[in-house]
């Protein structure tokens, strides 16, 4: 009996020691890296920086991104539909998608159908007045409303001032990006339901004013490494390009944007609760590590902040009065971090296009070759709606480009696709 008891004690002790050893010393990760991420890229919420992180991750891990044939929008002024990418080589090749991170009007169900199960949904919000002021200057809204922001803020919102600039930008921009119509913004109960649905749909809502803390929370949510979220502040404006609003004007804009403030304040409170749950000491340690990683990558890449007017090529940004970067392009990650958004998206297209080409049968014909008269008419139509810098949305919902907007510089790509050719190398 005594020997039996001793044997049981020995077995129990050995089991405890083995448990401690393998769980305390094992280097097996506690979670698995997430590779399917849907990011709602809200306007002027530091979202280009997050997009750059996601695109770099896609390139490093051979992941596929939901991309239109050209440009950086998945539908301007229209909710996302998968049909918007039906004219792309990757859709024709039926590639599976992993990352969604372009500007769009959000459509949760359609994004979910595109990416599938296992997707983590993320977005970022910012103080609504700061969003509006940044939009105003970055996108040239003064040219649409024919007045300065100070005057716009104090003026009654009637006539032209009641319209969304360029059919895309303006009042309650974050709710608009989330898919809420302008009409619904005047219905308090609909706004409340939209906020509740956003809370259900998104796994993580970040706050731009706490950007680095947001990156730590995103890293934790996705089970990524610190090196995956190193970042530069992209599309930042030069100080002289920022508006100095009076207190009266700012208060007027707060009233004008009150629905966006409901959204922002709701998720800012949740964000603060997440920070508290994460722990101040732990967060301070993580921030120090991230800051060190950011410093290392800047030194490694020899990254230099440069005024956009002094940049050229793939580093040249859209817009005036913004700051970009030059880097050592011999190192891929350095090149990706310093590339302008449109340039990086085109580079991802070239990589993804090659992957699609390999997946397609050699004799695959994406579309019927059109006769010259019909082709000429389509090209003429596309060109006529592509002359504005803001890329006005196509008005014909049955157009071959399927609800997407085409910039003038992309016309060669569309011309090739309409002829059944593959514009991989453009």
∠ CA 154-158-163, rounded to 5°: 100
Residues 6+ apart with CB under 8 A from 137: 149, 237, 241, 242, 243, 321
Q: Is the pLDDT of residue 4 over 70?
A: no
Q: Does residue 42 contact residue 177 with C-beta atoms inside 8 Å? A: yes
Q: What is the pLDDT of residues 331-364, one digit of tens each?
A: 999 999 988 999 999 999 999 999 999 998 877 7
Q: Is the pLDDT of residue 41 over 50?
A: yes
Q: Is the pLDDT of residue 378 over 90?
A: no
Q: Determine the Cα–Cα distance for residues 329 and 334; give it in Å rounded to an integer.
A: 6
Which range (216-220, 298-302, 323-327) has the least confidence?
Answer: 323-327
Q: What is the pTM of this model?
A: 0.79
Q: Is the pLDDT of residue 289 over 80?
A: yes
Q: What is the pLDDT of residues 79-136, one digit of tens each?
A: 999 999 999 999 999 999 999 999 999 999 999 999 999 999 999 999 999 999 999 9
Looking at every residue in the chain, the average pLDDT score rounds to 82
The band of 365, judged by pLDDT with boundaries at 50, 70 and 90, is low
Of the two residues 337 and 410, the one the predictor is more confident about is 337
Residues 232-237 have a mean pLDDT of 65
Q: How high is the pLDDT of residue 356?
A: 95
Residues 377-398 have a mean pLDDT of 37
Considering the chain, tell me which residue range(s) the CATH 3.40.50 domain(s) occupy: 37-359
- The third-level CATH classification (topology) of the domain covering 37-359 is Rossmann fold (3.40.50)
Residues 272-301 have a mean pLDDT of 96
Residues 190-197 have a mean pLDDT of 98
% pLDDT > 70, the chain? 73
């Amino acid at each position: 009996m005594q020997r039996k008891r001793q044997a049981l004690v020995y077995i129990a002790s050995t089991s405890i020691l083995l448990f401690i050893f393998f769980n305390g010393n094992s280097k097996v990760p506690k979670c698995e890296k997430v590779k399917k991420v849907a990011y709602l890229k809200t306007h002027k919420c530091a979202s280009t920086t997050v997009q750059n992180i996601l695109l770099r991750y896609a390139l490093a891990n051979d992941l596929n991104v939901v991309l239109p044939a050209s440009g950086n929008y998945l539908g301007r002024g229209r909710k996302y539909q998968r049909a918007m990418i039906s004219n792309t080589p990757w859709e024709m090749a039926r590639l599976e998608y992993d990352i969604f991170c372009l500007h769009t009007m959000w459509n949760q169900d359609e994004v979910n159908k595109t990416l599938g199960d296992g997707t983590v949904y993320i977005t970022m919000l910012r103080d609504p007045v700061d969003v509006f002021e940044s939009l105003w200057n970055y996108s040239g809204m003064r040219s649409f409303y024919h007045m300065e922001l100070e005057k716009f803020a104090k003026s009654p919102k009637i006539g032209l001032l009641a319209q969304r600039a360029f059919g895309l930008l303006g009042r309650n921009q974050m709710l608009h990006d989330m898919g809420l119509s302008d009409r619904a913004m005047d219905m308090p109960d609909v706004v409340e339901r939209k906020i509740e649905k956003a809370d259900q749909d998104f796994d993580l809502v970040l706050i731009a004013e706490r950007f680095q803390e947001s990156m730590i929370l995103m890293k934790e949510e996705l089970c990524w490494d610190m090196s995956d979220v190193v970042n530069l502040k992209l599309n930042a404006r030069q100080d002289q390009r920022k508006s100095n609003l009076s207190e009266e004007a700012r208060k007027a804009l707060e009233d004008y944007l009150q629905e966006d403030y409901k959204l922002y304040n709701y998720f800012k409170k949740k964000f603060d609760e997440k920070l508290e749950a994460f722990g101040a000491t732990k967060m301070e340690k993580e921030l120090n590590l991230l800051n060190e990683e950011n410093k290392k990558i800047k030194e490694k890449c020899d990254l230099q902040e440069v005024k956009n007017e002094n940049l050229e090529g793939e580093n040249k940004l859209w817009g005036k009065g913004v700051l970009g970067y030059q880097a050592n392009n011999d190192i891929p990650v350095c090149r990706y971090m310093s590339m302008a958004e449109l340039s990086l998206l085109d580079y991802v297209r070239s990589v993804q296009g090659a992957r699609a080409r390999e997946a397609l049968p050699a004799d695959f014909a994406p579309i019927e070759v059109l006769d010259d008269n019909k082709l000429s008419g389509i090209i003429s139509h596309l060109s006529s709606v592509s002359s504005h810098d803001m890329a006005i949305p196509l008005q014909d919902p049955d157009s071959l480009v399927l609800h997407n907007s085409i910039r003038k510089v992309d016309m060669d790509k569309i011309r090739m696709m309409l002829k059944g050719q593959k514009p991989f190398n453009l």
